[in-house]
Amino acid sequence: DQQVKQNSPSLSVQEGRISILNCDYTNSMFDYFLWYKKYPAEGPTFLISISSIKDKNEDGRFTVFLNKSAKHLSLHIVPSQPGDSAVYFCAASAEYGNKLVFGAGTILRVKS
């Protein structure tokens, strides 16, 4: 039973344009959401997070939007750079707890 879904296995974007990665969740108890970035042969690296009391969080080129009523979040990267090419995982937890539930990931390719 997938509680966190990333329905796009891959995304290809031109350098300088916006990348939008999407994530849906089913568990209404989730209150903390994170995005991780992963390069091959490395562990996931934390990118940005958002708590359920917010609907937007920004950090440089990265912005996460949360729509609680739709149980949907998205990660916007603008402008996209070739170094952003990686697998992006969406994750969620309940009660700010430590048990993270991950999506399957989306492979982002930024073409120069």
Partner 1 sequence: DTAVSQTPKYLVTQMGNDKSIKCEQNLGHDTMYWYKQDSKKFLKIMFSYNNKELIINETVPNRFSPKSPDKAHLNLHINSLELGDSAVYFCASSHSRGVVDQPQHFGDGTRLSIL
List contacts with partner 1 (CB under 8 A): 32, 34, 36, 41-46, 49, 51, 87, 89, 91, 95-105
Taking the complex as a whole, how short is the minimal distance between the CB of residue 112 and partner 1, in angstroms?
26
Question: 22, 21, 49: which is closest to 35 by C-alpha?
Answer: 49
Q: Which is nearer to partner 1, 15 or 52 (CB)?
A: 52
Measured CA to CA, the distance from residue 82 to residue 104 in angstroms comes to 22
Cβ-based nearer residue to partner 1, 36 or 84: 36
Using CA of residue 83, residue 84, residue 85, residue 87, what is the dihedral sign? positive
In this structure, is the dihedral angle defined by the CA atoms of residues 15, 20, 30 and 38, taken in order, positive or negative? negative
CB of 85 to partner 1, least distance (A): 17
**In whole angstroms, how close is the CB of 44 to partner 1 at the nearest point?**
5
